[in-house]
Amino acid sequence: MPEAFVLNRQNILERLGGDEEIYIMMLDMYLQDVDANCASLAAAIASGQAAEIRREAHTVKGLLATFSDDSGAAAAFVVEQQAKAGDLNGLAAAAATLETRMREVAVALAAARRTG
C-alpha cells in the first residue's frame, strides 16, 4: 500500500448517508474489534484454508472501505481474489501488510474520536 491512510470524515459520512450517529457507532465498533479482526485474519492465514482467508479478507475489505480507505480495501480485495483462486503464495506477507493498515486506520480513528 503506497499511500498512508488519511482520515476524510466527510467522505466517510457520505458513505454512511450523512448520519453522525452511525459514524460514531461504526468508529467505536472498528476500534473495539480491530484486534479481533487482525487475529482472525492471521488465524485464517495460519490455517492455510483458502475459504477462511477469502472470508476474512472480504471482512477487512469492507471495514476499510467503510472508512474510505480505498487503497487498503483494494489490497484486501487482492488477497480475497488470490485466496478465491486457491493461490496462497505470498498471502502471509499480504496479511501482515493488511494488519498494519488496519492498525494505522485504528490510530487515525482513535485520534478522531478523542478530538470529537
pLDDT digits 0-9 by tens, 56-99: 999 999 999 999 999 999 999 999 999 999 999 999 999 999 99
Its pTM stands at 0.91
Tally of domains in the chain: 1
Q: Which residues contact 38 (CB under 8 A, 6 or more apart)?
A: 99, 102, 103
Residue 8 covered by a domain = no
| Cα–Cα dist 114/40, whole Å | 27
**Residue numbers of the domain that contains 26:** 18-115
In a domain, 1, yes or no: no
Domain presence at residue 2:
no
User: With 0-12 CB in 10 A as exposed, 13-18 as middle and 19+ as buried, what is 49?
Assistant: middle
Question: The domain that contains 42 carries what CATH number?
Answer: 1.20.120
